[in-house]
Structure 1
């Protein structure tokens, strides 16, 4: 029938099978459902790929079910269904492998994760630059993109950049760069770059990662008020596994951590918290642009005004929870970094951060940071252009919405 996508067929890269179910369906007007996905599909495919049984914790199963049920809202294309199905299955596959490895090596769960540093802030506030600079410190251990979803066996310290899994992942990254250069201009990571630790949380299916890729309102509502403890418990286990062969002070980043700081601190009592801040007008416009481009990879019907309102509400909640955490634990419980300062003097800002946490700052590190900045100028992969009006928002509206936040944190703004 013209204009109607074909049923999704089973393949080695997709868990979408055209079999009757009621748990997850996409309906077309006056037609029977022709694209569907269930938790059972995902679980069966992951078990087939690993040879392991998926005995998920009830909280994790709840998260997976909530996510899968919400996918019918996303208006995904056939390719979108295949991609998202493969992504969710891949997350479960890695989780099963991690849990199996830890069951075979239970002693790893007794190893401490000491003073991990978490970098966060509203999206597009410089967290990527900051984590990449921190990654230049040989004493630090960052969560690398390639190992985030291919964690078993744990990589060896001297093979983090040469492991065949890293090499293969980099080939895929370079292919994506050719086919989607506009995404790289907004946000780019090599396979061996530090990535967001929400890719660990995504294996518990409680991660903003999914909310960015698809417009899933019911999952969005659930996620904003979810119990994040199971996701952090799993993340810690994953870090314990990965540090077994490649140790160091874990230094992680995830812009969305302000949503669940209490759970983070409960899991890592000695965590060092660092938050970046930027003019909210730029933050909202840039973040909306990134999510727009990502969602259009999976759907041909992206509601930009809904996207704008969604970002506005989420960012407001992030600032509220950050302030609540500081009020409860003291203003110095989170170390603040201004985006403008980071852009003007990145090495100086790293030096201040080290001083705050009583960490030695060496000449060798200063030279490594200088080399990194010389090799990675801003706009290396293209210029990112964006505007608020596209999302039904105005600069005055953003200024009003975040005026208290800007005053409280002394955030420089253009007006």
Structure 2
């Protein structure tokens, strides 16, 4: 593969690797072209890990499209009353999603099956499929080699993962932008029509639920940016917004994005600070705009402080708001997960605004509207 990434070459390689031709339309192409323009300009295109991610997304789109072509009846199976968790990045969406996933009455897209969806697993093999077992072994070795990664993201092959990795197949997700300086892609993504990405997202779930159905629990902070479009595709969706001190959240956001940039090239801390602050405020503002239009009750609020102080009580309250039964099985699953995953299990993630050219005085004004609207427990930075 050349040092300059060319969309036509990547597409041809994915088709050759899978023996498949049909991408199910070309809605992915505009985003791919804009993204590669940024990657080529910032030098990220030379990174083999990034190249592998691009290929995996193209190949998975080919595989899921082929699976649906062979099983067209799946497109008629509903995705009913899914729960979407979102918020400003680094506000507890991962913790909340992991707790929801322990409820046997719920269905979450697991990390391994998002990465390797075809053939889809059965309900009985979601955690025992050979692909899951292989990923768990790889994960164990990776964490042993880089234990500090556990500070930033509580993940596992058999834990739920973000919708970014599904919507990546339509090349409309901020996940791609987190791999380097991509200002053109970011600006395009924040203004483009996201309908095709959410339509593809639904098709993906229809593949995964073929032999493993259930009420979906889904998570992506940047759903915050596109709630109107989300409801066009999922009109009965239940929406859950997480809250946390935006000063701490922004510092944490900068930290994790710097990890992404560092994995593919040099880190420009000042750029990351400016970009993360802009994006974090945009997440908050777009949710508030949505609530102004649709009413406060259309979205359920969950506070990070409540999840930290008394997680079981916070989850019981959430279930009441969702209209779901908080069963003894759900509570036991959540408590077991909490016991196995204590806070700071892999060390504490330190938040440092100054490292990214930010300060309380520069960050707080960006969230004036948010802080005047919600009572969020201050954490300090």
> Which category describes the TM-score, using the shorter chain as reference length?
over 0.9
Indicate the residue corresponding to 1:276 in structure 2.
242
Is 2:278 the counterpart of 1:313?
yes
User: How do 1:160-175 and structure 2 match up within 5 A?
Assistant: 160-175=126-141
Match for 1:303 among 254, 268, 286? 268
Offset of residue 366 of structure 1:
1.8
Corresponding residue for 1:190?
A: 156
The reply to whether residue 290 of structure 1 matches residue 256 of structure 2 is yes
CA contact (8 A) 2:5 2:45 kept: no
**Number of the residue aligned with 2:303:** 338
Residues 240/55 of structure 1: CA separation in 2 closer, same or farther (3 Å cut): closer
Deviation at 1:47, TM superposition (A): 0.6
CA–CA distance in 2 between the matches of 1:84 and 1:367?
A: 39
Out of 18, 33, 45, the residue aligned to residue 65 of structure 1 is: 33
The answer on 1:236 being equivalent to 2:202 is yes
Any idea what SS the aligned residue of 1:213 has? coil
Is it true that 1:132 corresponds to 2:93 in the alignment? Answer: no
CA displacement at 1:265 relative to structure 2: 0.7
Distance 1:293 1:393, change over 3 A: same
Matched, 1:407 2:372: yes
Secondary structure in structure 1 of the residue aligned to 2:342: coil
Alignment of 1:44-193 (within 5 A): 44-55=12-23, 57-76=25-44, 78=46, 80=47, 82-193=48-159
Please provide the CA RMSD for this pair: 1.4
Q: Which runs of 5+ in 1 are unaligned?
A: 1-15, 18-34
**105-114 or 51-60: bigger deviation:** 51-60
Structure ranking higher in helix proportion? 2
Change (3 A) 1:293 1:359: same
Q: Deviations over 1:252-300 (max 9, x none)?
A: 100111111111111100000001011011011011011112211110x
Instruction: Determine if contact 2:248/2:379 at 8 Å carries over to the other structure.
Output: no
When residues 247 and 400 of structure 1 are mapped into structure 2, their CA distance, relative to the original with a 3 A threshold, is same
Distance in 1 (alpha carbons) for counterparts of 2:297 and 2:347: 37
Deviation at 1:183, TM superposition (A): 2.1
In 1, the alpha carbon distance for the partners of 2:314 and 2:369 equals 25
8 Å Cα contact 1:351/1:361 also seen in 2: yes
For structure 2, which runs of at least 5 residues remain unmatched after alignment? none
Contact (CA 8 Å) 1:115, 1:272: kept in 2 or not? yes
- Superimposed CA distance per residue, residues 193-244 of structure 1 (whole angstroms, 9 cap, x where no aligned partner): 1000111100111111111122211111111112111111001001011111
Instruction: Indicate the structure (1 or 2) with the bigger Cα radius of gyration.
Output: 1
Counting matched residue pairs gives: 380
* Alignment TM-score, normalising by the size of structure 2: 0.97
Answer yes or no: is 1:383 the counterpart of 2:351: no
- Asked if the contact 1:183–1:290 (Cα under 8 Å) also holds between the matched residues in 2, the reply is no
> Matches of 2:379 and 2:93 in 1, distance apart?
20
